Structure 1
Amino acid sequence: MTESSLDKFPKTASGINGLDEIMQGGFPTGRPVLICGGPGCGKTLFSVQFLVNGIIEHDEPGVFMSFEETAKDLSLNVKSLGFDLEELQESGKLKVDHVHIERSEIEETGEFDLEALFIRLNHAIDSIGAKRVVLDTVEALFGGIDNDGILRAELRRLFSWLKKKGVTTVITGERGKQSFTRQGLEEYVSDCVILLDFRVIDQIATRRLRIVKYRGSMHGTNEYPFLINENGISVIPVTSLNLTYGSSTEVVSTGLQQLDESLDQGGLYRGSSTLITGSAGTSKTILAAHFAMASINREEPVLFFSFEESPEQLIRNMDSIGIDFRTHLESGLLHIKASRPSLQGLEMHLIRFYNALEELKPKTVIVDPISSLITIGSSSEVRAMLIRLLDTLKNKQINAVFTALTQANFKDKGDLTVEAISSLSDAWIDLNNNRKNRRQNRTMRIVKARGMGHNPEAQEFRITDKGFHFSMPTEQMTDTTN
């Protein structure tokens, strides 16, 4: 949306990481937003985060009116995520009100209305000057009412009343069997409807979010993965990132002189992505470690994600070839995050990447190896994840290095990952082991290097106690194709 459009259609920050990007600014200010979904999908947490972040980040007081959980239970349930509702209530910025409704006591009559609720809610809003309101969950109000006419009239009156109060309201609702909510009416009178979904695929739990409608505003229409961790809810935009990032002309060293000399510019462009491929034992991790050391020598922090080796094993192995990771780990220039891919789904790994980027502000990121990710997702899913990660790294001008296993008898596994990332990478370096004159012969070949000429010939190298050691340099042959 343009700036002038936003002025005509004011929006309120949702407080959910990544969601405002999809909604092009946030929730519609002063209008009701319906959050619907099945049990355990995160509706209540979603609404609590909306209120808490509104108070902390925008100084907008909020009211949470619950029809199911008591204030004590609600506070206890969200405390593990760092949300201290009791402290916010004591500060006068938050009011939590539990309204007990006994469905057996509700009688369907032509005079049924929500007047008592309006009075109670109006008092709560005015007492703290609330700008945000949550009603959790709306089904409790109409559990004993079967007359659609009464339901529709009272829902419209409720939503109209909230609009007149000028508060941005989040209303949660349980998903129905054949509609977005049990009553099937709330979505028609809401200005914005967001559907949350919790599913298990191949024994891996995933959560998805979709904006069903948003009156008066452009918005993303895909399904977006979202996660619940110790920092609350985070949404991962899938296609919202556009190819609008800049391209640096600054060249940085790869950490190996002969590799730099094989590139016309004497290195690779800052913020570029490099794919290192090869079969098992071709020294992919060692080459990635040289990239890491080049960044450290520039005093630029490195974030190293390892899917196969623990930090201690990686430190020991690099130490055997003269690369001192431990010293730089202690100095804070190197950060190693290690886990098995199967520990969590692709979305959780991606959020882990995002959180580490925000916390550590690295200049170089290494993922070793991305081929391990194929064990927890299809080639298309891995590709989608890596596209999002690559776009993020490029937007932040972070050097990216990915390693991937390729082996003739594992083409159905390793090569799928290469296909998923090779066309997206700016540079591609392939390592190979073969037998020549009864001895093992290691070679390195630059498959491509976008934006610069390079030597396409295979170059022999050995691994010594000082890392990569190239054989006598061959005559430079420059390939200007990219």
Structure 2
Amino acid sequence: MIESTTDASSAAASGISKCPTGIFGFDEITGGGLPRGRPTLLAGAAGCGKTLLSMEFIVRGARDFGEHGVFMSFEESEQELITNVRSLGFDLATLVTTQRVALDAVRIERSEIEETGDYDLEGLFIRLGSAIDAVGARRVALDGVDALFASLPSEAILRGELRRLFRWLKAREVTAIITGERGGGTLTRHGLEEYVSDCVIFLDHRISNQVATRRLRIIKYRGSRHGTNEYPILIDAQGFGVLPISSAGLDHRVSRDCLSTGIDGLDALLGRRGYYKGSSVLVSGTAGAGKSSLAAAFADSVCHRGGRCLYWSSEESPDQIARNMASIGFDLEQHFTSGRLYCHAVRPTLYGLEDHLARLHRIVGALKPDAVILDPISSFTAVGNLAEVRIMLTRVIDFLKSAGITAFFTGLTQGSEPVHLERTEECVSSLIDTWLLLRMTDVAGTRKRLLHILKSRGMAHSHQVHQLLLDDCGVSVVAAASNPGEPR
């Protein structure tokens, strides 16, 4: 997991005390967590992750921060809650048994209720107060609280009871999350809760190009600075995650050291050095020109020198990559076995762009690689339009540069004319530090691969066109005019 960059000083600078959630990325965009001792409203439609976020807040508080909690649900039973969060790796049953978390399922059935006087929440206060005292809770989650007010005719009573509930929670000095369903034309079903909350967070679940994505937005946060953008949400086996999308700010430090390309001839063309550590590399070209072969050479070099490499494949499985690259002398299987090379193979159309970005953050945080290979980035255009893909790749480049990780991308180009070749469909070439172009050409009835170094920032490099040779001994680069045997 990637640790939050927010520290105690930044939380203090925000003006109010913060309660850290421990949720991936969330504390970073909120400047330290939720407002301590105050209520937070979590609103959104069904399926957007409200229950999971509030439950993870309670579980991580008890497990990681020593703050016991109460989770009161108005929609699910206690056993359902325990079963549902087990898939996220949370042993809620043990936390309940050891009295670090109290679960309470409140059943509201309007057909069984007969009103004999003014509607109030006094019974809820007694029940919730007893649960808080039983475990010494510092955190509270009320999930689906708008079920309390179903069929309530008086808006005045509703407003008054909501205010009283929030005042009661503040008086108990507990950090609380209250979840509510999204209304038709308002943030919540009743359109009132957001006016009495110190912090309002909105979750959204939408469909774009037949791909579902979840997003989070902080509507307001009294007394604190916070991120105001929409942030991609990821829910997986590690729990709830929020991906900050701010750029690196162009203030990251750079390295003067280099990593070998894995090809002696190519190192020589790049000032006998290779790629700068922490830089971004793009290898573009037509189909079959050798883009993945250069990626494999780089991965093999990183692993042989004791580093770790993440290979993000959008077209081939790990076994297929290992088999294909063995034909040109690269034994990637040994690196897979040793754990130095990790391959994440997934079709781009399986998730949205934000989901891929969030998963990349997760994997990089866990693996801590020296290099990341995305092969190819052109496949992401099947998920979003060019503008969306460019934004996503810009965030990838900024994220990896700020972490000092060398990024290696391959991209497919269309056409054979220079005007087409010296252009990327993803429009990220201006962000790239080293750009290699591969193309196929016919010479006397033989297909040959040519390599151009279009640019390599910060180092002297060759401006000549060279030939790329692939055979069972590996990959080599020779002058285009020479022809020591026919290439494969």
1:137 aligns with 2:153: no
**1-structure distance, mates of 2:476, 2:149:** 75
Q: Secondary structure at the match of 2:475?
A: strand
2:85 to 78, 82, 87: 78
| TM superposition shift of 1:402 | 0.5
Question: What displacement does 1:107 show?
Answer: 5.8
Q: How far apart in 2 are the matches of 1:431 and 1:63?
A: 60
- Counterpart code for 1:121: L
| SS of 2:430 mapped into structure 1 | coil
Instruction: Give 1:270 shift.
Output: 0.7
Q: Residue 204 of structure 1 is aligned with which of 211, 221, 225?
A: 211
Contact 1:21 1:240 in 2 (8 A): no
Q: 1:240 to 1:33 in 2, by over 3 A?
A: farther
d(CA) in 1 for partners of 2:190, 2:424: 45
Q: 1:134 to 1:373 in 2, by over 3 A?
A: same
CA 1:384/1:189 → structure 2, altered by over 3 Å: closer, same or farther? same
TM-score normalised by L of structure 1: 0.93
Cα distance change, pair 336–414 in 1 and its aligned pair in 2 (3 A): farther
1:17 matched to 2:63: no
Confirm or deny: 8 A CA contact 1:238 1:384 kept in the other structure.
no
Change (3 A) 1:358 1:4: closer
Gaps of at least 5 residues in structure 2 are 1-5, 483-488
Per-residue deviation, 1:108: 6.2
Counterpart CA distance in 2 for 1:232 and 1:2 is 22
1:417 Cα deviation after fit: 5.4
In the alignment, which of 156, 166, 169 is matched to residue 173 of structure 2? 166
Q: Cα offset for 1:193?
A: 0.7
Q: CA RMSD in A?
A: 2.3
Query: CA offsets per residue over residues 247-268 of structure 1, 9 Å max, x none?
Result: 1111221112222222236222
Question: Any idea what SS the aligned residue of 2:266 has?
Answer: helix
- 5 Å-filtered alignment, 1:385-400, equals 385-400=392-407
Alignment of 1:439-478 (within 5 A): 439-472=446-479
Is the CA contact 1:346–1:382 (under 8 Å) kept in the aligned structure 2?
yes
Correspondence list, 1:240-255, <5 A: 241-255=248-262
The question of whether the paired residues in 2 share the 8 Å contact of 1:252 and 1:269 is answered with yes
Partner amino acid for 2:344?
Answer: K
Q: 1:219 to 1:153 in 2, by over 3 A?
A: same
Could you tell me which residue of structure 1 aligns to residue 156 of structure 2?
Answer: 149
Partners in 2 of 1:240 and 1:181 — Cα distance? 31
What are the within-5 Å matches in structure 2 for residues 18-417 of structure 1?
A: 18-106=25-113, 111-239=118-246, 241-264=248-271, 266-408=273-415
CA deviation digits over 1:415-461, x for unaligned, max 9? 98544321221111101111223322321111111122221221122
CA distance in 2, matches of 1:223, 1:334: 33
Matched AA of 1:183: H
- Change in 2 beyond 3 A, CA 1:417/1:105: farther
**Residue 33 (structure 1) shift:** 0.6
Deviation at 1:150, TM superposition (A): 1.1
Alpha-carbon separation, structure 2, partners of 1:141 and 1:472: 77
How far 1:194 sits from its partner (Å)?
0.7
Q: Retained in 2: the 8 A contact 1:108–1:144?
A: no
How far apart, CA to CA, are the structure 1 residues paired with 2:324 and 2:191? 60
Give aligned pairs, total: 474
For the residue of structure 2 that corresponds to 1:30, the secondary structure is: coil
Q: 2:439 aligns with which of 422, 432, 436?
A: 432
Looking at structure 1, the residues matched to 421 and 118 of structure 2 have their Cα atoms a distance apart, in angstroms, of 68
Deviations 1:197-234 (A, max 9, x none): 11112211111111111111111111111122222211
- Measure the CA separation in 1 of the matches of 2:345 and 2:146: 44
Question: How far does residue 188 in structure 1 lie from its aligned partner after superposition?
Answer: 0.3
- Displacement of 1:473: 8.4
Structure 2 CA distance, aligned partners of 1:389 and 1:86? 38
Distance 1:415 1:431, change over 3 A: closer
Alignment check: 8 A CA contact 1:275 1:402 kept: yes
| C-alpha distance 188-307 of structure 1, shift in aligned 2 (>3 A) | same
Greater displacement, 208-217 / 102-111: 102-111
CA 1:163/1:410 → structure 2, altered by over 3 Å: closer, same or farther?
farther
Residues 378 and 426, structure 2, Cα contact 8 Å, conserved in 1: no
Where does the alignment leave 5 or more consecutive residues of structure 1 unmatched? Answer: 476-482
For residues 463 and 208 of structure 1, what CA distance do their matches in structure 2 show? 45
Instruction: Measure the CA separation in 2 of the matches of 1:205 and 1:340.
Output: 15
Q: Secondary structure at the match of 2:427?
A: helix
Aligned partner (choices 4, 11, 16) of residue 6 of structure 1: 11
